[in-house]
């Protein structure tokens, strides 16, 4: 990835997974090219452990290290959180992330979207990576995942926020993570989750390509 970005610094990078830790090497490579990076993460879980069972980089820790890498200060924004042992104040005060929990996004989707975008603007976001754990979306639409959760985001909210972010910031890449076709799901759940992942990927493509700077002559 470093070599590809060296050849084409304007490259847009997309990942498909799989374990959410797959996002870590993408974020690390993008940050090496451009330290002025923010992250928008859709997720039911915080993934903010420093290590888990002695493992430094895994699905439960990647956000901790990515948040450190980009300098904290609210530059990592987590949307859809609802399955965690600690309250929002713990994570925001101890690690400098900014969280918008699922309940407030479901209760006031338009207001939540605007508050998220305003926050990213306030911290000086110019370039944005969008990491999308499918379990950020409610289990009604995303059951084929390792840890599906009730009380989640709607597909329209997630896709709408991705598209709105692309209109305000330069989206340098993104991913769809934790889609697990082998996990048992209710009848039709697998197909619905796969279609949802495709919808999110398409929205992220549009956001990234639509926000790409124009190429110069030649």
Closest CA to 80 of 112, 120, 125: 112
Per the CB < 8 A criterion, the answer to whether 1 and 15 are in contact is no
**CA–CA–CA angle 153, 158, 160 (5° rounding):** 135
First vs last Cα of the chain: how many Å apart?
A: 24
Closest CA to 52 of 44, 42, 43, 62: 62
Flag whether pLDDT at 211 surpasses 80.
Answer: no
Q: Which tens digit of pLDDT belongs to each residue from 157-173?
A: 999 999 999 999 999 99
In degrees rounded to 5, what are phi and psi of residue 36?
-85, 75
Please tell me the predicted confidence (pLDDT) of residue 184: 72
What integer is the mean pLDDT of 84-107? 98
| Cα distance between residue 54 and residue 56, in whole Å | 6
| For the chain, percent of residues with pLDDT exceeding 70 | 96
Which residue do the tokens 């379990």 mark?
135
Q: How many contiguous H segments (helices) and E segments (strands) does the chain have? A: 8, 6
Flag whether pLDDT at 217 surpasses 50.
Answer: no
Per the CB < 8 A criterion, the answer to whether 175 and 133 are in contact is no
For residue 214, name the pLDDT band (cuts at 50, 70, 90). Answer: low
What integer is the mean pLDDT of 87-112? 98
- What's the chain's average pLDDT? 95
For residue 187, name the pLDDT band (cuts at 50, 70, 90). Answer: confident
What integer is the mean pLDDT of 92-121? 99
Domain 2-210 has CATH 3.40.800.10: yes
Domain spans, the chain:
2-210
Question: Which secondary structure element, helix H or strand E, spans residue 127, and what is its range?
Answer: strand 127-133
Closest CA to 170 of 202, 204, 212: 212
Please tell me the predicted confidence (pLDDT) of residue 98: 99
Global pTM exceeds 0.85:
yes
Q: Which tens digit of pLDDT belongs to each residue from 134-156?
A: 999 999 999 999 999 999 999 99
Residue 16 CB coordination number (10 Å): 11
Q: Which tens digit of pLDDT belongs to each residue from 27-44?
A: 999 999 999 999 999 999
């Amino acid at each position: 990835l470093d070599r590809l970005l060296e050849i084409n610094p304007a490259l847009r990078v997309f990942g498909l997974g799989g374990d959410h830790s797959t996002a870590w090497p993408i974020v690390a490579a993008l940050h090496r090219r451009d330290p002025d990076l923010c992250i928008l993460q859709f997720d039911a879980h915080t993934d903010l452990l420093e290590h888990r069972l002695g493992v430094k980089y895994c699905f439960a820790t990647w956000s901790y290290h990515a948040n450190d890498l980009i300098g904290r200060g609210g530059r990592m924004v987590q949307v859809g959180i609802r399955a965690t042992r600690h309250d929002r104040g713990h994570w925001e005060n101890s690690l400098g992330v900014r969280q918008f929990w699922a309940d407030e996004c479901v209760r006031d989707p338009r207001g939540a979207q605007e508050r998220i975008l305003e926050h990213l603007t306030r911290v000086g976001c110019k370039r944005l990576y969008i990491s999308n754990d499918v379990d950020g979306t409610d289990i009604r639409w995303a059951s084929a995942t390792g840890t599906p959760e009730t009380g989640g985001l709607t597909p329209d909210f997630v896709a709408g926020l991705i598209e709105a972010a692309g209109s305000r910031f330069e989206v340098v890449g993104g991913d769809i993570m934790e889609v697990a076709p082998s996990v048992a799901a209710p009848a039709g759940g697998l197909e619905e989750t796969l279609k949802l992942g495709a919808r999110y990927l398409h929205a992220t493509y549009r956001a990234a390509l639509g926000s790409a700077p124009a190429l110069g002559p030649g």
